[in-house]
């Protein structure tokens, strides 16, 4: 069977970037079983032939109406699909969907009738918000980075910007490559509307990476590799902190003056 990717090199590359990231998530131990989700807005790669393609499933309700998603298309990891399998076969473990004109349903268009992630309403709600505010961000990533999740089991790290300041101070690259820090969302039921709303509020508070207490992170960026990079640098900082504690001392961290110098030198937003 031919794939929708075969004669569309830009779309092919975007989907295989997702596959590459999925492999990294598995290798790092951040994607146990079918854990984690990826959703990427691929509308810019859609051509007239794709628009004329019939759906391969009946329209399915999103569960909410998202008016800014009219005429948008997404690649979504499939429900109950493993990241390690997606890394090798993205179109067998995910699907391309389009949002219908009523902005309340979606159709699977290619390649196989793989049902999207159960967290699709949450992901699409975030994409709807990003488009509404004119954001260039087109990728969303949810994953379970071990050390970051571990930190949320300590109450003090759930306080606003406590973890951000600590992680920024561990190594200069953290502030440079995740300059908005880490927003914190107290524990809420996974896949629920409340979690989606809390995540959007955190992003609206000017964070690109949001920590879900005792669960995982949700990151948004212009593309899936950039979203992964933000989580990667934050978790590296958490590893440095935990390694220091394991060696028996409290890490000193960079000073406020040193971090301000970084911000001033590189024009960082916070």
In whole angstroms, what is the distance from residue 12 CA to residue 50 CA? 14
Instruction: Note whether 151 and 235 are within 8 A (CB).
Output: no
119 labelled catalytic: yes
Out of 107, 119, 159, 252, pick the active-site residue. Answer: 119
Q: Which two tokens stand for residue 202?
A: 């955190």
* Rg of the Cα atoms in the chain: 19
Q: How far is CA 99 from CA 62, 73, 96, 112, in A?
A: 9, 6, 10, 17
H or E element in which residue 210 lies: strand 209-212
Residue labelled with tokens 């050390």: 147
Contact 22, 83 (CB under 8 A): yes
DSSP 189: -
| Catalytic residue list | 119
């Amino acid at each position: 069977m031919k794939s929708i990717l075969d004669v569309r090199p830009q779309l092919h590359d975007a989907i295989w970037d997702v596959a590459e990231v999925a492999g990294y998530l598995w290798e790092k131990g951040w994607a146990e079983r079918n854990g984690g989700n990826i959703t990427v807005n691929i509308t810019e790669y859609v051509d007239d032939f794709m628009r004329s393609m019939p759906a391969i499933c009946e329209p399915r309700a999103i569960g909410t109406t998202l008016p800014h998603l009219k005429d948008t298309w997404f690649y979504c990891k499939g429900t109950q699909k493993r990241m390690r399998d997606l890394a090798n076969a993205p179109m067998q473990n995910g699907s391309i969907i389009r949002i219908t004109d009523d902005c309340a349903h979606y159709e699977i268009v290619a390649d196989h009738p793989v049902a999207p992630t159960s967290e699709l309403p949450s992901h699409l709600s975030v994409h709807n918000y990003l488009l509404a505010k004119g954001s260039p961000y087109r990728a969303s990533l949810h994953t379970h980075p071990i050390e970051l999740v571990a930190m949320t089991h300590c109450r003090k790290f759930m306080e606003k910007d406590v973890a951000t300041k600590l992680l920024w101070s561990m190594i200069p690259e953290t502030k440079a490559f995740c300059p908005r820090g880490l927003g914190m969302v107290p524990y809420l039921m996974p896949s629920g509307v409340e979690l989606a709303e809390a995540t959007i509020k955190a992003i609206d508070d000017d964070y690109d990476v949001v920590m879900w207490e005792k669960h995982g992170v949700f990151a948004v960026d212009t593309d899936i590799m950039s979203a992964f990079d933000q989580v990667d640098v934050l978790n590296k900082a958490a590893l440095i902190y935990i390694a220091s504690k394991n060696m028996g001392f409290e890490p000193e961290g960079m000073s406020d003056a040193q971090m301000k110098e970084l911000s001033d030198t590189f024009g960082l937003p916070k």
